[in-house]
Amino acid sequence: MFSKQVVAFAMALATAEAAYQGFNYGSTNVDGSSKYQADYETEFQTAKNLVGTSGFTSARLYTMIQGGTTNDPIQAIPAAISEDTSLLLGLWASGGNMANEIAALKSAIGKYDSLSKQVIGISVGSEDMYRNSVTGSKSGAGPGLGPEELVDYIKEVRAAIAGTSLSGVSIGHVDTWDAWTNSSNAAVIDALDWLGFDGYPYFQLTMANGIDNAKELFEESVQKTQSVAKGKEVWITETGWPVSGPKEGDAVASIANAQEYWNQVACPLLGNTNTWWYLLDDAGASPSFGVTSGPSNTTPLYDLSCKSVNSTSSSSAAGSEKSAVNSSGSSSSGSTSGASSTGASSTGASSGSVSSDTGASSFSTTSVASSTPLTSATKAAGSSSGSGSSAGSSAGSSSGSSSGSSSGSGSSSGSSSGSAASASSTQFNSASRASGSVFGAIVAAVVLGIAV
């Protein structure tokens, strides 16, 4: 028995060493301003020093281009090198700026000799197929890409790194799970080394999505993605639960529920599956998904230690406090949990969207709409994403009552309808697009119902 435990423990350690864990980092601050090297260094240091935890030494990026430039490499790269933070690089593929994204990638390879030591993968695009879907376009998610264009871009990126220090780096694409399970997109899966999964039960408006069902919704959508992955690895590129923001279906944004989601979803993943949580910090956004209240605040809003994981099946755990936790919670809003998951209300109808295309900081709210009751045989998936710039800062979302106050750029929306549903989006700042940089932000929600 003892030796068996030792072996199991050793294997767990080995696995832990093999899995990357970190956060998503947009290229702009919540106010829409560009981040520079020092800003990324601060964030990477904060992630590594979050009280009560360790190992958050990886960063997923959405664009290769530094804000305010045409195609200079993003300054998150030198920051990652100085902080020894690994990088899941991203090229923003939608919107017609891939030539500059690839130019920035090539410049980075030429400029940073140690780049290959930091880069653990490259994502060609983020939620492009989602934005190209029926629900994505219906909700004004912004420009997306069809599978053929995406496959071409994947080939271009493979060609761009061939013969360079990054030639051995694996290539993937990040999208919402319902985009992966859409069989029309199968050619993209064939062209990749791994699939990036984005999923947010909080936005899964077409079914009971209270915190008590969140783990199940998450796992179900991961399994569906794995079932179409043709044996390729599925990396968890975005998921999270907001500490504040509007109620979405049964989902209540609160620190207590974010704690519960962390315990039930993050803790089992960390050390076992490559995971980039959404998100380190986005104070000021609504909903706000950040685990901490500011880029340099190493005291998390809730306990990230996973020590109370085994007691989380009861909602009481969410309320337990740890020394590492700053429970004074600035952002707690709305009601706090416990009661959030009655599982009663949801199905049916919810819709709406929050959108903005300013790339900077304003948001407008528009309602989109739709509703159709679901049957128990219907599955739903939610997702959200961020783009080049403000992923980190806006997490727009939606639902019937969406409040549109996220800052940052981009847009997001969610809506749901019986068997297909809604979503999220990203849009570009037309000014930045013109100048060649990606702006936009995002998040949104996708709720897709799939009849089984």
Ligand X SMILES: *[C@@H]1O[C@H](CO)[C@@H](O)[C@H](O)[C@H]1NC(C)=O
Smallest gap, in angstroms, from Cβ of residue 341 to ligand X?
A: 21
Tokens 């599982």 belong to residue: 343
Stretch of 125-133, 347-355, 388-396, 432-440 contacting ligand X, by CB under 6 A? 125-133
Residue 233 bears catalytic tag = no
How far is the C-alpha of 296 from the C-alpha of 218, rounded, in Å? 30
Alpha-carbon dihedral angle through residues 80, 81, 86, 91, given to the nearest 10 degrees = 70
Q: Which of 41, 127, 149, 220 is catalytic?
A: 127
Q: Which residues pair with 24 in a beta bridge?
A: 60
Smallest gap, in angstroms, from Cβ of residue 136 to ligand X?
A: 7
User: Among 88, 166, 360, 420, which residue interacts with ligand X (rule: CB under 6 A)?
Assistant: 420
313 binds ligand X (CB under 6 A): no
The two structure tokens encoding residue 334: 């709305």
From the list 63, 71, 81, the residue with the least C-alpha distance to 25 is 63
Residues 6+ apart with CB under 8 A from 131: 94, 137, 141, 142, 143, 144, 145, 425, 426
146 binds ligand X (CB under 6 A): yes
49 binds ligand X (CB under 6 A): no
From the list 430, 423, 426, the residue with the least C-alpha distance to 441 is 426
Smallest gap, in angstroms, from Cβ of residue 147 to ligand X?
A: 5
DSSP line for 265-311 = IIHHHTTTS-EEES-S--TT-SSB--SBSSTT--SBSS--S-TTGGG
Smallest gap, in angstroms, from Cβ of residue 309 to ligand X?
A: 8
133 binds ligand X (CB under 6 A): yes
316 binds ligand X (CB under 6 A): no
Stretch of 291-299, 346-354, 393-401, 406-414 contacting ligand X, by CB under 6 A? 291-299
User: Among 33, 107, 330, 435, which residue interacts with ligand X (rule: CB under 6 A)?
Assistant: 330
Nearer to ligand X, 185 or 206 (CB): 185
322: number of Cβ within 10 Å: 16
Smallest gap, in angstroms, from Cβ of residue 380 to ligand X?
A: 14
**Mask: binding to ligand X, 156-195, rule CB under 6 A, as x and -?**
--------------------------x-xx----------
How far is the C-alpha of 30 from the C-alpha of 42, rounded, in Å? 15
Residue 220 bears catalytic tag = no
The two structure tokens encoding residue 77: 């790269």
How far is the C-alpha of 266 from the C-alpha of 147, rounded, in Å? 30
311 binds ligand X (CB under 6 A): yes
Nearer to ligand X, 51 or 122 (CB): 51
Stretch of 198-206, 264-272, 326-334, 341-349 contacting ligand X, by CB under 6 A? 326-334
Largest CA distance in the chain: 64
Stretch of 224-232, 323-331, 366-374, 388-396 contacting ligand X, by CB under 6 A? 323-331
Q: Is the peptide bond between 268 and the residue preceding it cis, with omega within 30 degrees of 0?
A: no
417 binds ligand X (CB under 6 A): no
Summarize as ranges the residues that interact with ligand X (CB under 6 A).
129, 132-135, 146-147, 182, 184-185, 293, 297, 299, 310-311, 326, 328, 330, 420
Positions marked active-site: 127, 238
